Structure formats: structure tokens, C-alpha cells
Structure 1
Amino acid sequence: MASIAHHPAQRRRPAKRRHHAGPLVAPVAVFAAVCVIAAAYVGYVLWPRWPDAPVATDAPSIPITVGGTVFNIEPAAVRIPSQRHAGSQSRIDIAYLWPSLMPPDPSLKVIDGKPVDPNERLFALIQIDDGALPLAERVKNIYPRYLSKTLASGPDGLVVHPFRAETPYEGEDLVYDQTQRFLTRCSRQGVANAGTCLLERRAGAADVTFRFPREWLSDWQNVAAGIDRLMARWRPNT
């Protein structure tokens, strides 16, 4: 009689339980990743870095980015030495000789046979847009609240519109031509004040403010043309 081999019964191992990820795991992981990336970016921005060495004043134009807008500016025209380097900056202070629009050169004493007048300067400030209303909007919606009702004639067809006393622009005039292509805000001349004019332009996300003596209004058409030439020189591809 054939013997039957009895094999011990194999014990069944309990099945492993599968853990299912909860519905909040994925969003939490994404949020954590975003926090890590944000922290890394803030650390990179705030990490102290040595500034670039200033460029020599006799170097050719260098690309300077303000508010994402690139300007090609001669280092000699940059008034503050620490700003004389390529790359991104929050503001640039500039000066040019007038009317030649040449960068100031301490070694240059004569231009076109005439002595250089150190006071003949066209100044400019390029800075990131601070969120203020564009000039056209201010002329339309802000300035009329503070302007007087009387107008005066200025040099060579300009219109002089005074601001009223006891307003934020007291002591200033809005000066413009008939087309308002040339429009500037000027302080009035006084005993100790020769008067200064501010003319604004917008370039991308950067604001450009030109500053010049009020007496230049007698030659305002050349002033306007000179400012146009500078803007074209700084941004030749626009």
C-alpha cells in the first residue's frame, strides 16, 4: 500500500497592507518645493556680492540696465564712480556738456575754440519707474487741479502756465509748446534762484528726468533736439 507523504500545511503569510497616499500629500509636497525655491531665490538676491570694478572714464559706452531697459552710456558721462559699470542698476546719474553733448572731460579745456564752461551741463537721472502716473496722465488729470487760470507767453512761442500758491507745485510753472511735444516743469527765477527745469521721458520701465537751467528755454527747440539725440544714442535699436 503506497504510503502517502504528509506535508505539513504551509502557513499563509498575512498580506501586506498597501498604504495609499492621502489626498493632501501632493499639494503639501508642491507647497514645500515652492517654499524651498523661494527661499533659495531670496538668499541669492540678498547674499552680499562685491560690486564690479568701475570702468575707466575713457572707455567706450557700456550697457547699463535700469528697470529691464538697456542704455548704452559713456562711463565719462556717469557722475558717480560706483555707477560706472555694466549690468543692472537701480539709477544712473549723468551729465553732458552743453551744447556739444560730450561727456565732461577734466583735461578738455576748449571746445570749438571756446573755453569750456563748467556750469553748462545737461543733467539726467535714469531710475526704475516708481509707480507714479506717466507725464501725459499728470498733465491731463493732476496738474489742472493746481494750475492758475491765467497763461503767459514764453520764449519763441512757448506757453507758461503758473501753478497756484499753496499747492504742491507752488513757485513753479508748466512750460510747453503748442503741441506739448516739449513740456517741462520749471522753478521760477528769484534773487538766489536762477530757475531749473525738469523734462521727463519714459523708456520701457525706466523714467528719465533731464535737468537744465531755465534760461535755456530761449533755445528750447535745440534743447528738445539734443534730448532726442541723447535718447537715440543711449538706445540705438529702438
Structure 2
Amino acid sequence: MTLLSSTARRSRGSDKPRRGHLVPVLASALIAAIAVTLVAWLLWPTWASKAFDNDERLPVSIGETLFNVPPHAFRMRVQRHSGPQERIDLNFVYPSLAAPEAPKRVSAETIEVTPQPIERIFLSIAAHHDSVAPNSLVHTIYPRYLDESRTQPQDGLLMRAFRDRTPYAGEDLFVAEAPALVARCTREAMTPGMCLSERRIGGADLTFRFPRQWLAEWRDVAGAMERLVLQLHGPQN
């Protein structure tokens, strides 16, 4: 009997150190769980749940040049934040220049068989890092590759073709003075022709892209690009 009593006392006594070690282990686990939850909350992307107002603008710095961008104009979610960035890719509904609505889900039942016309004007803004300026391309680079033949301006818009076996083969250069427009466009083939028009603002280069067919109303296109610059950056000096 005495032996059993002493054994029981030792057993109860040995439980106390084990319970004493268990308390700090549980406390450490609880602290770690709280820390992980806090870090996950801080790093969780807020754009996924935030509803942006139609008039809201995100201040974005490209090449140390400030642009105020509508959140819904971003083509890639990873770029949809304020602060310095190397490049952003945007799109706007033409001719209203409104930021597009969120794309709808497409299914086999809702997809259209016939191709839909492009109703967006695309804009990429990137830091130029002292690369060749768009004006230098027009006045010193492009003329080296243009065909010598000249065409008469159509409705104030002059077109000149690039020669074959040059870096711009298969493209044409369109130039107008009032309003100012310079666009390099691919020719219509298996796919619709597309144009790009570039300009430099501070430390950033802006590259507009739009369908070549829009050049039938080229003054409207030139005005749209100018309005976008005013909306994103303000008047130019």
C-alpha cells in the first residue's frame, strides 16, 4: 500500500513539469499565429476588394513624371497602384475616352463568331532612360527608310511608305501639321492594320495604339490623344 501511494505521488508530481512546459509552447504558437495573420492582412492585395469611384485617380510616377490615372484604365491588375512604376499599360473607350468597365465573362454560348471591331485606344507609358526621342525618329531615323516617291496629302494627311527590306517594311508613315499627328501604321493584310503614335513628356514616353481605319477621321484621333494627355498629365508648356 505504501509503495502504491508513493508511486502515485511521483506520478502526480511528474505531471506538473510537463504542464509547465506546455504553457509556453501554446503561448508561442498563439503569438506566431497572430503574427502570421497580421502579415497576411498587411500584404493582401487591396485592389481585389476595393471598389474605385469613377472620378478617382491614382497618382503614378513614370520616369519621375506624374500621371493621374483612372483605376479602371489599367490593363493589368499588378500595375493598378499609386507610386513610382517603370511602365503602365492603359486602355480607353473611343471616342468617349472613358475608362472601360470590367470585362464580362465569356462562355461558349455568349461568344460571338464574327470578330468585333476595336473600340479602344491603347496607351503605354514607360520611362525612356534617354533613349531616342520620338521627334528624332521622325526627323532623322525614319527618312532613311522611306520610299523616295511622295504622295499628295489626302484631307491634310500625308502618307509615305517604308521601303522593303528595311526595319519598317510593310508599314506606312502618316504625318499632318494641323492638328499635329505622326503615326506609323502596319498595312491591312490578314489582320487589321494598327497604328502607333509616340510623344515624350518629361522622363516618360507615351505610345498610343489604334486601328489604321480610324485615320479616315484622323483629326478626331489626334484630338482624342491630346485630350488623354490633358486628362492624365495636364497642359504642356
Counterpart of 1:127 in 2: which secondary structure? Answer: strand
Output the amino acid matched with 2:226: D
Deviation at 1:154, TM superposition (A): 5.6
Counterpart check, 1:194 vs 2:179? no
Deviation at 1:144, TM superposition (A): 1.2
2:212 equivalent in structure 1: 214
1:20 equivalent in structure 2: none
Counterpart check, 1:127 vs 2:126? yes
Output the amino acid matched with 2:69: I
Supply the distance in 1 between the matched residues of 2:231 and 2:62 (Cα, whole angstroms): 16
In the TM superposition, 1:31-180 aligns within 5 A as 53-54=46-47, 56=50, 58-59=52-53, 60-106=56-102, 119-153=118-152, 155-178=154-177
- Provide, for residues 205-231 of structure 1, a one-character-per-residue CA deviation record: whole Å limited to 9, x for no partner: 000000000000011111111111110
Task: Name the structure where helix makes up a greater proportion of residues.
Answer: 2
- Provide, for residues 61-83 of structure 1, a one-character-per-residue CA deviation record: whole Å limited to 9, x for no partner: 11011110110000000110111
Output the amino acid matched with 1:193: T
- Greater C-alpha radius of gyration: 1
Shift of the 237–219 alpha-carbon distance from structure 1 to 2, 3 Å rule, reads: closer
Supply the distance in 2 between the matched residues of 1:125 and 1:208 (Cα, whole angstroms): 6
Q: TM-score, normalised by structure 2?
A: 0.70
Supply the distance in 1 between the matched residues of 2:51 and 2:210 (Cα, whole angstroms): 23
Q: TM-score, normalised by structure 1?
A: 0.69
Uncovered stretches (5+) of structure 2, i.e. residues with no partner: 1-42, 105-115
Counterpart of 1:148 in 2: which secondary structure? Answer: coil
Supply the distance in 1 between the matched residues of 2:211 and 2:204 (Cα, whole angstroms): 23
Shift of the 159–75 alpha-carbon distance from structure 1 to 2, 3 Å rule, reads: same
Q: What CA RMSD, in Å, does the superposition of the two structures yield over aligned residues?
A: 2.4
2:107 equivalent in structure 1: none
2:5 equivalent in structure 1: none
